[in-house]
Amino acid sequence: RFDTWLSSHLKLPPISLLSYSGNYTDDAKSWRLVDITRLTSKYQHDRADNRICTSLLKTKTCSLERALRRTQRFQKWLRAKRLTPDLVQGLPSPMLRCPSQRLLDRIVRRYAEVPDAGSIYMDHLTDRDKLRLLYTLAVNSHPILLQIFPDVEGWPFPRYLGSCGRLVVSASTRPLRDFFGVAPEVAADLALQLLAVLRSMATNDLNYFFYFTHVDAGTFGVFSNGHLFIRDASTLGIIDKEEGTQ
């Protein structure tokens, strides 16, 4: 949880920023640094909201939930018992460009925003849960990837700690760009770690092949212990290598 007494001292930066640092605790005794990240920029959110309200309800502002409930896609989601490829067809997320049923089942089974996760069927998701999952998949799949491929199982992603509205909270990392110009031995170690991460993206026990659709200096991050991770998973595509063997 976050303590409200911290808010006056944090001096949160302008709303135009995509992310900022915070302090997190789950026992009110030990605190740790976290990254609080927007699904997308405030400008993009406002622009998308305006387009949704204008096209669906013919108003400049509206209840997004009420507007999105009217879409044919969400009506199909409401009737569906299982998340299938046709329900996500056309969504812009790289992760969903060629999704297998196995991957979609994993998304539902490991979706952390509901109390009864574990089933591949969506019976335990309320209408609002389905809407939130659809919205997240459509806007930015980064938090979903952190949930379905958790760090505790050896995946090279920061730990997902939760979300609130359009903000995602995860373990804090320093972007790789902060390490430009470090000592040669540190740079060499990070380069070796980067190669190992990329190798694990192509060859892993679950037979998923991960690929990047875009890479920049903020894609990777480094924890305080020197371990390198994928800091931004929003541009990752996934190919199920078992799909062709079935």
Residue boundaries of the structural domains of the chain? 174-245
In the predicted model, is pLDDT for residue 4 greater than 80? no
Between 30 and 234, the higher pLDDT residue: 234
Rounded mean pLDDT, 12-25: 74
For the chain, the C-alpha Rg in angstroms (whole number) is: 19
In the predicted model, is pLDDT for residue 5 greater than 50? no
Between 110 and 17, the higher pLDDT residue: 110
Rounded mean pLDDT, 39-63: 88
So what's the pLDDT on residue 15?
Answer: 66
Residues 228, 193: contact at Cβ < 8 Å? yes
- Average pLDDT taken over every residue of the chain: 89
The dihedral through the CA atoms of 178, 227, 3, 20 has a sign that is positive
CATH of 174-245, one of 1.10.510.10, 3.40.50.620, 1.10.357.10, 3.20.20.140: 1.10.510.10
Q: Residues for the chain: how many in total? A: 246
pLDDT band for position 6 (cuts 50, 70, 90): very low
Q: What are phi and psi of 54, to 5 degrees?
A: -65, -45
3-state SS string for 147-187: HHCCHHHCCCCCCEEEEECCEEEEECCEEHHHHCCCCHHHH
pTM of the model: 0.87
Cβ-based burial of 81 (10 A; exposed 0-12, middle 13-18, buried ≥19): exposed
The most distant pair of C-alpha atoms in the chain lies apart, rounded to whole Å, by 59
So what's the pLDDT on residue 149?
Answer: 97
153-162 pLDDT per residue, tens: 999 999 999 9
C-alpha–C-alpha distance, residues 49 and 128, integer Å: 18
pLDDT band for position 125 (cuts 50, 70, 90): very high
What's the Cα-to-Cα distance from 229 to each of 42, 100, 183, 190, rounded to whole Å? 26, 25, 20, 10
In the predicted model, is pLDDT for residue 20 greater than 90? no
